[in-house]
């Protein structure tokens, strides 16, 4: 449309109120660069003069225009953070009658945002970086502070803070200017003193950043690279900017091969999707992809790693990450749990009683016992030992018995290797019985 490229003139932008001229409607554009000082004539966004739900920003298209989306960015400022968390979009052809536009359940969510989220959920990305301008620094999550208040600035590390710091340093240290202590400062802060890296919330808090989303909702570790002091460099400067960042980009991409990788399989060799990979001492888990494969970025060291999945017993092993480039292979094989086998058997027989004949036994002296062999599929062989308590039982040593298991609880207990089940309800015996598997 021209908001960012300035095809839309300043006189086509209007607002209900403004905080001051430097934050007027004409500053309500994408990627508008902030001023150096808080009271600069021009600052990085439009800011209303009052905080209430009646404030508005208006764009006069001056001709028939097709609007395909609305993107909000918040105020770019080194001193404060201003953004709106919700808004509504209205359209008018005469500036008097306004109609509110809606977009189903995803109202006011940019199309490209939904597309990017769906893309990240579909593909198991491991490492990511978004390139920005206006500074020379690499930031890493979390980007939002835990302390309430928009102006708060404090460290907000993730459980993978040591990995993030290495990833940030790998880029900053190979950038031509970022970690150079003799370079000029872009604005007010000298990030070269911190090796060109900083925790995002320590710089300025930002809610809902892509870096935080990636860490909390996907397997991907993502960072922000501010690759130059000038947010909008001239095209003649682009070759030099490329040389400043070329080696850093290559080294950063190589870090995807650091850590552990492997496949989580069942006893038949089939990959288990959505299995959870946990590293002892790091409170952040990842999940396997469709074929059971996974990748976990880690710094050199020894790690106790656990793999688990629904319906399977968990498995642990020690995995060692070396200093040389190349992820360590760490595969897992998981066996089915008793409970999952029980559910499978019950589904196979549609949760119906299983009726099988019992092998006849010869008479014994004294107290007689009969053994019933019951086989469920190919999973277990159950030997049910039933004491005889009635005269009729004693006189019928060669009788054929057909046990009927009418209780799913009994079946579950038998397959779970639980002995000494009492009070079995069956039409063919009374009293206590022992179950041996």
The CATH number that applies at residue 196 is 3.40.630.10
Q: Look at residue 28 in the predicted model and tell me its pLDDT.
A: 80
Do residues 43 and 87 both lie within one domain? yes
Residue by residue, pLDDT tens for the chain (437 residues) are 677 777 888 888 888 998 887 788 888 877 776 655 555 556 667 888 888 888 888 888 877 777 777 777 766 565 566 667 778 888 887 677 788 877 654 445 667 777 888 888 888 899 999 999 889 999 999 998 877 655 568 899 999 999 999 999 999 999 999 988 888 888 888 898 888 999 999 988 887 788 998 999 999 999 999 999 888 889 999 999 999 999 999 999 999 999 999 999 999 999 999 999 999 999 999 999 999 999 999 999 999 999 999 999 999 999 999 999 899 999 999 999 888 878 777 777 776 555 556 566 565 555 444 444 443 333 333 333 344 344 434 333 333 434 443 344 444 444 443 333 333 333 333 333 333 33
Do residues 171 and 244 both lie within one domain? yes
Do residues 167 and 250 both lie within one domain? yes
C-alpha 247: how far from its chain's center? 29
d(CA 139, CA 199): 5
- pLDDT tens figures, 271-280: 999 999 999 9
Overall pTM > 0.75 = no
- Give the domain extent around 80: 1-109
Do residues 289 and 267 both lie within one domain? yes
Do residues 139 and 237 both lie within one domain? yes
Residue 14 main-chain phi, psi, to 5 deg:
-135, 155
Among the candidates 199, 233, 257, a domain finishes at: 257
Which residues 6+ apart lie within 8 Å of 148 measured at CB?
A: none
Among the candidates 257, 275, 291, a domain finishes at: 257
Half-sphere exposure of 329 (CA within 13 A, CB side): 2
* 405: number of Cβ within 10 Å: 21
Do residues 248 and 272 both lie within one domain? no
Among the candidates 216, 231, 257, a domain finishes at: 257
């Amino acid at each position: 449309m021209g908001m960012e490229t300035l095809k839309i003139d300043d006189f086509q932008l209007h607002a209900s109120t403004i905080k001051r001229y430097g934050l007027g409607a004409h500053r309500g554009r994408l990627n508008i660069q902030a001023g150096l000082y808080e009271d600069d004539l021009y600052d990085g966004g439009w800011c209303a003069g009052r905080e209430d739900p009646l404030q508005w920003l208006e764009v006069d298209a001056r001709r028939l225009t097709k609007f395909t989306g609305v993107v909000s960015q918040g105020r770019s400022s080194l001193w404060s953070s201003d953004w709106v968390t919700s808004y509504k979009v209205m359209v008018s052809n005469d500036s008097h009658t306004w109609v509110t536009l809606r977009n189903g359940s995803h109202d006011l969510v940019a199309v490209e945002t939904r597309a990017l989220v769906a893309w990240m959920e579909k593909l198991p990305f491991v490492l990511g970086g978004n390139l920005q301008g206006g500074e020379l620094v690499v930031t890493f999550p979390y980007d939002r502070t835990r302390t309430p208040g928009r102006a708060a600035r404090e460290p907000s590390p993730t459980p993978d803070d040591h990995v993030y710091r290495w990833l940030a340093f790998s880029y900053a240290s190979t950038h031509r200017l970022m970690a150079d202590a003799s370079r000029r400062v872009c604005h007010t802060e000298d990030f070269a003193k911190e090796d060109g890296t900083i925790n995002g919330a320590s710089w300025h808090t930002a809610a809902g950043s892509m870096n935080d989303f990636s860490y909390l909702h996907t397997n991907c570790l993502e960072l922000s690279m501010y690759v130059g002091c000038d947010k909008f460099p001239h095209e003649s400067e682009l070759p030099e900017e490329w040389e400043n960042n070329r080696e850093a980009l290559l080294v950063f991409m190589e870090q995807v091969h650091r850590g552990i990788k492997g496949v989580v399989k069942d006893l038949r060799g089939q990959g288990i999707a959505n299995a959870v990979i946990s590293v002892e001492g790091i409170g952040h888990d990842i999940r396997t992809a469709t074929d059971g494969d996974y990748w976990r970025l880690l710094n050199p060291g020894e790690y106790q790693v656990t793999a688990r999945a629904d319906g399977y017993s968990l498995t642990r092993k020690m995995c060692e990450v070396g200093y040389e480039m190349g992820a360590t292979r760490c595969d897992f094989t998981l066996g089915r749990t008793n409970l999952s086998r029980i559910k499978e058997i019950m589904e196979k027989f549609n949760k119906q009683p299983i009726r099988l004949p019992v092998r006849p036994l010869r008479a014994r002296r004294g107290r007689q016992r009969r053994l019933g062999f019951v086989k469920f599929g190919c999973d277990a062989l159950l030997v049910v030992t039933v004491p005889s308590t009635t005269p009729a039982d004693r006189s019928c040593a060669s009788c054929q018995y057909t046990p009927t298991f009418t209780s799913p609880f009994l079946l579950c207990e038998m397959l779970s290797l639980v002995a000494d089940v009492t009070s079995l309800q069956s039409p063919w015996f009374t009293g206590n019985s022992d179950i041996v598997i």
